[in-house]
Amino acid sequence: MFLKNAWYVAAWSSEIQPKLQQILVLSEKICIYRDAENQVIALEDACPHRKLPLSMGRMKNGGIECGYHGLTFNAQGQCIWAPGEGSIPSKAKVHAYPVHEKYDLVWVWMGDPTQADPKNIIDIPNFDNPEWGVNQGAAMDLHCNYLLMCDNLLDPTHVAWVHQSSFAQPATKDVPLNVTHTDTGYIVHRWMMDAEPAPFYKKVVEFQGNCDRLQHYEVRFPAHALIRAVFTPAGTGGVDGTLHEKTFVMDSYNFMTPITETETRYYWFQLRNIRPEDEAISKLMTEDVQHAFEEDRLILNAVQIGQDEKKVPNIDLAIDSGQLRFRRDLAAMIAKEAALSKQSNDQPDNQTDNQQTVHWHKSVNDMKSSVSLSKTAACKAPSMLSNLECITNPAMWARAEEQGGSEAKNPRPSSGQSVVFSGSGITVTWEESNTSLLELAEQNGLKPDQSCRRGICNSCKQVLVEGEVEYFRKVLRQPAENEVLLCCSRPVGRVVIDL
């Protein structure tokens, strides 16, 4: 699953030359090159005639000439010449991807071109600051899903075991983590006080003795990370500390580009607040960081194999809260984007806001009849469908109606069970008058995604940390073992939900 309406790193700027080459992003093949004006152009890498990759063609007169029959395309993807005596077919065009160069990287927008705004590319405040040094390395290819690297970069504890020769110190094993939700993603962070600097940082900090250390692990949607390391003399750090003039700060920026579901390209660089012109320290930091990233690659590649071959579900720990919440929110964003895209594709051009009509067919006694369903009529759907995917997927509505959709006969659980919303630190008691876990969450000031009430089934799912629930309505999409659909479930005994 990928979020399409987002900026992803396509390549380092230096990797794109005035020649055709193919890259793969979100499982889509892209022909990318620089034109005569040194502008980066990215086109769908398939000629519409016989689907030969355009990257196998040649650059000609400012466009791309297909290597099979010579169809020529301009930078907007429109065919401007085709062989034969007839006119150029109207469908002789390829998708043109919006691109933008920033931070020495080429960014590509994979979704609706009308929504592409370079202002939404991640902001890196000190990138052009002459008082900050920078070091970077080549992109890394990982044989794992991009979300495994996102997990890794929301997991400060892993350094205690994976990076023992570089980033680890005893405090990284057990100092409690804090999770902060932002408008753009999640931050997992903690201060570790009065500790010996980790081996990698001991080489670069400019003070002696113990330190106060901040681990700031932040991942922003869809897959961009900022790992901030702060080392300051012991006694000068912490949430309310006044940092020492010798405080060392390193901002590590990490950009995960999904290639396929099981392959990721990983771009990175670091900014530091000391010795900006010191090439020796840049080289040292690059080499040490590359070594640490190789340790990550070895682990994550093996984790992907383990996930692919697992016979029982993996478990989650309390330290996984930031990762699980990030995945939950990203999955909801992807589901919402897909539903809106489908609704847009299914919607006739002549619909109005007051009367959007969805045409669908269902079989009744081997006879087919056409039905027109308006927004008004949709509200009169059977009660079991009020929170399901009936508007955006009428076929499911028809199928559910044919199967019969009465409520399950399970009686409501009695009062007294504890319901813990661990992400918010709220513990409440289930009352017999409660109708669903979604209602209970809302009653206590929580605001889980309610897109299911707008026709996007499963958008209210959350991570079920502990306990068991029962469903009093038939669900169209069965949740995973460690997930719960709040809108149509009740607790069976004590439950803990990450919300």
Residues of the chain with CATH 3.10.20.30: 418-498
Taking only the tens place, the pLDDT of each residue in 44-59 is: 999 999 999 999 999 9
- In this structure, the dihedral spanned by the alpha carbons of residues 486, 490, 495 and 499, taken in order and rounded to 10 degrees, is 20
Residue 390 confidence (pLDDT) above 70: no
Position 128 pLDDT exceeds 60: yes
Tell me which range, 305-319, 338-352, 456-470, is most confidently predicted by mean pLDDT: 305-319
- The per-residue pLDDT for 495 is 87
CATH homologous superfamily of 7-116: Rieske [2Fe-2S] iron-sulphur domain (2.102.10.10)
Angle 201-212-317 (CA atoms, 0-180°, nearest 5)?
85
Q: What is the mean pLDDT of residues 83-105?
A: 94
Name the DSSP letter for residue 480.
P
Q: How many residues does the chain have?
A: 499
The confidence score (pLDDT) of residue 487 equals: 84
Answer for the pair 337, 5: CB distance below 8 angstroms, yes or no.
Answer: yes
Q: Can you give 330-396 as a three-state secondary structure string?
A: HHHHHHHHHHHHHHHHHCCCCCCCCCCCEEEEEEECCEEEEEEECHHHHCCCCHHHCCCCCCCCHHH
pLDDT of residue 484: 87
Which has the minimum average pLDDT: 34-38, 39-43, 145-149, 434-438? Answer: 434-438
pLDDT of residue 400: 42
Which pair of structure tokens corresponds to residue 40?
């980066």
Higher pLDDT, 348 or 2: 2
Per-residue pLDDT at 403 exceeds 50: no
Average pLDDT over residues 109-138: 96
- pLDDT given for residue 411 in this prediction: 54
Q: Which CATH number fits domain 418-498: 3.40.50.620, 1.25.40.10, 3.10.20.30, 2.30.30.90?
A: 3.10.20.30
Res. 442 pLDDT band, cuts 50 70 90 = confident
**pLDDT, position 347:** 66
The identity of residue 60, as a single letter, is: K
Most confident range (mean pLDDT) of 234-248, 346-360, 378-392, 395-409 is 234-248
> Model confidence over 250-295: pLDDT tens digits?
999 999 999 999 999 999 999 999 999 999 999 999 999 999 999 9
Q: What DSSP string describes 76-103?
A: TSBEEE-SSSSPPPTT-B--B--EEEET
* DSSP code per residue over 285-339: HHHHHHHHHHHHHHHHHHHHHHHHH-SSPPP--GGGHHHHHHHHHHHHHHHHHHH
Between 192-201, 309-318, 380-389, 431-440, the lowest mean confidence (pLDDT) is in: 380-389
Asked whether residue 353 carries a pLDDT value surpassing 60, the answer given is no
Tell which wins on pLDDT, 292 or 360: 292
Q: What is the CATH number of domain 133-314?
A: 3.90.380.10
| CA-angle at 239, arms to 235 and 243, nearest 5° | 50
Question: CB count, 10 Å around CB of 413?
Answer: 18
